[in-house]
C-alpha cells in the first residue's frame, strides 16, 4: 500500500489523537499538516508507517500547543465537547472524561502529549519519548505529573470500570487460573511489551491479542504483588526484596489495553512505586 492509502486508513485514528491533543476545531488542520509533512518525507526506510504517522501528528499538535502558550487566549470551549465523525467514535470513546478537559488544557504541552498518548491511546513511552525528543525516564515523569494533576481534579469513580478495579480483576483471575474471567478484563487488541531489561529476564518482547496475553499471565501472577506505579494501579515482581520488574497497566474503556514490563533500573529508580 502506498502512503496515500496508508494515511487514509489511519486518518480516523490520527484525527482522534489530534482531537484529544488540540481540540476538535484544530484537529483537521493538524491532520492536514501531518499529511503534508509525511508526503514530503516519503515512506522510504519506514518500518512501521502507522506509528510514524502518529509521531508526525503528535509533533504537529505539540507545535500547535506550544504556539498557544505564546499567545494568551480564551479557553477553547469546543475542547470540552469534541465532535469527531462517526468513523472515529470508537476511538474517541476511550478518551478522558470531558470534565477533565480544562485540566488537560492547563498542562504544559509536553506533559499533555505524554499523558494523552500513553494513558488514552496506549502508545508506549519509547515512541512518545522520540516524539518529544526526551528520554524515556523524563517522558514517564511528564505523564506521571499530568496524571497526578488529573486525579487531583477528579477522582476515578469507583466501580468495575475504574482502572484499579480492572487491574484487581485481572490479577485475581490470573492468580486463580480462570481463563474466561481473565480474557474478560482484556481489550481485544491488548498488547504486552517488555523493555530490554525485562526481556533479558525471560519476558517476551511483545505479545499481542487476548489469547497470547491471557496465557502469558494465566496462573503466573502469583509471584507478583499489587502496587501503585506513578499514581496508577499496577503490579511488581520482587527479587530479594527489591522491585525487579514493574507491570504498568494502561486501562482504556474498562479493559486492559496494554501492559508494559519495566525492568530498566533507571526507569524503576525514577518511578514512584508503592506496594499495595
One domain, residues 114 and 201: no
96 and 183 fall within a common domain: no
Q: How many domains does the chain contain in total?
A: 2
User: What is the model's pLDDT at position 10?
Assistant: 94
pLDDT in the model for residue 147 = 79
pLDDT of residue 183: 93
Tell me the C-alpha distance between 228 and 114, whole Å: 19
Give the domain-ending residue among 117, 132, 153.
153
Whether residue 128 is found in the same domain as residue 168: no
Give the domain-ending residue among 134, 153, 172: 153
Q: Does residue 158 lie within any of the structural domains?
A: no
**96 belongs to a structural domain:** yes
Looking at the domain assignment, is residue 195 inside a domain? yes
* Domain span including residue 30: 3-153
- For residue 4 the three cell numbers come to 496515500
Question: Has residue 13 been placed in a domain?
Answer: yes
CATH number assigned to the domain comprising residue 218: 3.10.450.50
75 shares a domain with 52: yes
Q: Give the pLDDT of the chain (276 residues) as one tens digit per residue.
A: 799 999 999 999 999 999 989 888 899 999 999 999 999 999 888 988 999 999 999 999 999 988 876 654 443 433 333 344 444 444 433 443 454 566 677 778 888 899 889 888 889 899 999 999 988 888 988 888 887 777 665 444 444 467 888 898 998 888 888 899 999 999 999 999 998 888 898 888 889 999 999 998 887 666 788 888 887 889 998 888 888 999 999 888 888 999 999 999 988 888 888 876
Grid coordinates of 85: 465523525
Amino acid at each position: 500500500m502506498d502512503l496515500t492509502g496508508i494515511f487514509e486508513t489511519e486518518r480516523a485514528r490520527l484525527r482522534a489523537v489530534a482531537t484529544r491533543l488540540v481540540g476538535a476545531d484544530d484537529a483537521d488542520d493538524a491532520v492536514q499538516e501531518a499529511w503534508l509533512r509525511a508526503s514530503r518525507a516519503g515512506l522510504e526506510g519506514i518500518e512501521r508507517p502507522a506509528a510514524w504517522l502518529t509521531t508526525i501528528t503528535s509533533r504537529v499538535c505539540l507545535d500547535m500547543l506550544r504556539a498557544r502558550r505564546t499567545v494568551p487566549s480564551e479557553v477553547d470551549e469546543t475542547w470540552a465537547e469534541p465532535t469527531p465523525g462517526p468513523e472515529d467514535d470508537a476511538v474517541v470513546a476511550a478518551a478522558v472524561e470531558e470534565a477533565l478537559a480544562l485540566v488537560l488544557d492547563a498542562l504544559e504541552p509536553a506533559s499533555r502529549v505524554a499523558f494523552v498518548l500513553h494513558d488514552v491511546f496506549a502508545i508506549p513511552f519509547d515512541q512518545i519519548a522520540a516524539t518529544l525528543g526526551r528520554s524515556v525516564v523524563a517522558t514517564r515523569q511528564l505523564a506521571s505529573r499530568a496524571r497526578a494533576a488529573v486525579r487531583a481534579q477528579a477522582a476515578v469513580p469507583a466501580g468495575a470500570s475504574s482502572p484499579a478495579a480492572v487491574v484487581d480483576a485481572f490479577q485475581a483471575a490470573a492468580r486463580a487460573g480462570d481463563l474466561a474471567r481473565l480474557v474478560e478484563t482484556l481489550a481485544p487488541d491488548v498488547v504486552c511489551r517488555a523493555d530490554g531489561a525485562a526481556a533479558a529476564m525471560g519476558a517476551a518482547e511483545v505479545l499481542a491479542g487476548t489469547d497470547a496475553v491471557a496465557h502469558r499471565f494465566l496462573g503466573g501472577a502469583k509471584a507478583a504483588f499489587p502496587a501503585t506505579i506513578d499514581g496508577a494501579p499496577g503490579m511488581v515482581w520482587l527479587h530479594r526484596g527489591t522491585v525487579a520488574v514493574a507491570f504498568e497497566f494502561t486501562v482504556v474503556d474498562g479493559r486492559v489495553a496494554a501492559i508494559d514490563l519495566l525492568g530498566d533500573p533507571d526507569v524503576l529508580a525514577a518511578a514512584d512505586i508503592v506496594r499495595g
